[in-house]
Structure formats: structure tokens, C-alpha cells
Structure 1
Amino acid sequence: MVTENFAEKIASGEKAQFKVNHTLVISSSLLWIAIGLLLYVVFDHVKAINGTEKLILLIFIGFIVLRPLFRLLNLSPTLELSAEGMAYRGDFQAWNRVEEVRVTMPSFKLFSQGRMLVYTKIKDQQEMAWDIVAADVNMPLADLEMLINECMALYKTEE
């Protein structure tokens, strides 16, 4: 299983690194391109907008389409797991600080494939530390949740 390979890698002292899921980013971008074309056709042919409104609409649609593509520019790992703890986008948390990991799946999966919520304990109160979306890691969130829970069981020490 995939999680066993990463667990062995972490146990040997290496870091398990996860990068952006290119497939999800590209499919999301294609979906936004289709929606952008639909918006353009609706506003241009049905409403008959003038030149200035058309320019504003094209700029708006361009931002909507390009926004998900900027994730592809991230070449560094977004999530790293090690025996010491986990790091998300450079922010490190030791295993003793990680309290709970929960995967939430949306009821309407067209625009989002789910997110992982990582909770830490600060001053005896549970707070959400990270909101990791499925496009941020190149592994299914359910498998990643199992791997993180396994690492918490192995490396979390009682204070």
C-alpha cells in the first residue's frame, strides 16, 4: 500500500514530501475555462454588452481561469512528514502539538475534491491549524489521513 512506503521512508529518517496534485489543478482549470466561456457567451450574445463591459468581463474571466493555474508554479513540496512532525507550506508542527486530523468531503464534488483539517492544541483549546485542500497534495486525502494518524501513533510522546 502507498502509506506503507511513506511510513517506511519516515521511519528510516527521511522526509515524506507531497507536492501539488497537477491532475486536480488542470481539471479544475479546465472546468473554470468552460464556465468562463459560458459566462462570456451568455453576457455577450444574450445581454449584448458594449466594448468596455466586454473588456471588464474578459479580465474577470481571465483572473478566474488563471487563479488555479498559479498552483502549478509551486515546485516545492506543500506538505512534509518526518519523525519530528509535519510541515505545511513551511509552517512546522511537532507531532505532540497535532491534536486531530479530519477529512471533510463536499456534498457537491464539482469544484472541490475535499479538504483535510489539521487541529492543534493551544492553551488547552483545540484550534484549526491548517486547511489542506486536495489539490495541495498528490495523494488521496483518506490515505494521507491514515498516514498522519499512523505517524501520530508512532511519534507522538506524552508530555
Structure 2
Amino acid sequence: MGQRVGVLAAILAVLLAVVSIASHRTHTAAIIQKASANDSWQRYQSTRVKVHTLELGESLVQVFGAKGGSSEKAMADFAAQKKSQESKGKQIQEEAEKAQESGETEERRALRYDLGEGLLEVALVTSSLFFISHKKMFPVIGAIAGLIGLAIAATGLLIG
């Protein structure tokens, strides 16, 4: 019986290592996606500031009532630049939203891996209690906790 429990503990330890690595890598991916989203949101805000600056330029030309070719050219330039910045801003906004959603997906996946990792740790410790107590219930409880932990961790693969 002791040899079987030892093999069970070894299998649980390997599964724990795999799930733990997956958890850490997924947390890292979530952080990278969140940072990417933050960078995109900063670029989006920059385009919005440029649009507001161009709108201010248009307003100043109108307020001061400048007439002639140079004011019309300035208004046309403002309008063209504003259209370009608004288009660029929409594209950046889509990138930011996509990166943000990807980060949230990775966080949900990491949570599953964390729960699975925790149950595999409980399974390993519980199974190891057999060697101290020589009671068969500990490896049984450990095997059940290990299966549940593995199942929860496996659901992390389905997210996304």
C-alpha cells in the first residue's frame, strides 16, 4: 500500500508542477495584456487631445472672424487632421478594448489554474499523511481532491 501511495504522491507532484507553471505563465500573460491595453488607452487619449486641440483651432479661427484664403486653408487643414485623428483614435480604441478583453480572459483562465493548483497541493499533502498515520482514508481523500483539482485546472484550457 505504501508503494502505491508513494506513486500517487509522485503523480500528484508532477501534476501540481504542470498546473503551477501554467498558472504562473497565464498570470504573466494577463499582466502583459493589461499593460498593452493601458498603452493603447494612453495612445487613444493622445489622439483625443489632438482632436480637441484641432477643434480649438477651428473655434479660434471662427471667433476671430478671420477671412480669406489662409483662414479657409487652415480650416480645411484642421478638418482633415481632425478626421485623420478621429479615425486613428477609433482604431486605437479597438486595439485597447481587444487587449483589455484578452487580459480579462487570461485572468479567468489563471483563476481556474490557481484553484486547481490549490486542490492539487491539498491532495499531495493529504495523501502524504498516509505515511504518518497509515490510514487509507488519506490517499483516497487525496486522490479525490487531486481529480477535482485536475478537472478544474483543465477547464482553464476551455476558456478563451
Shared fold (TM-score, shorter chain, > 0.5): no
- The structure with the greater share of residues assigned to helix is 2
Tell me the TM-score normalized by structure 1: 0.31
User: Larger % of strand: which?
Assistant: 1
User: More relative contact order in 1 or in 2 (CA 8 Å, sep 6+)?
Assistant: 2
TM-score, structure 2 normalization: 0.31
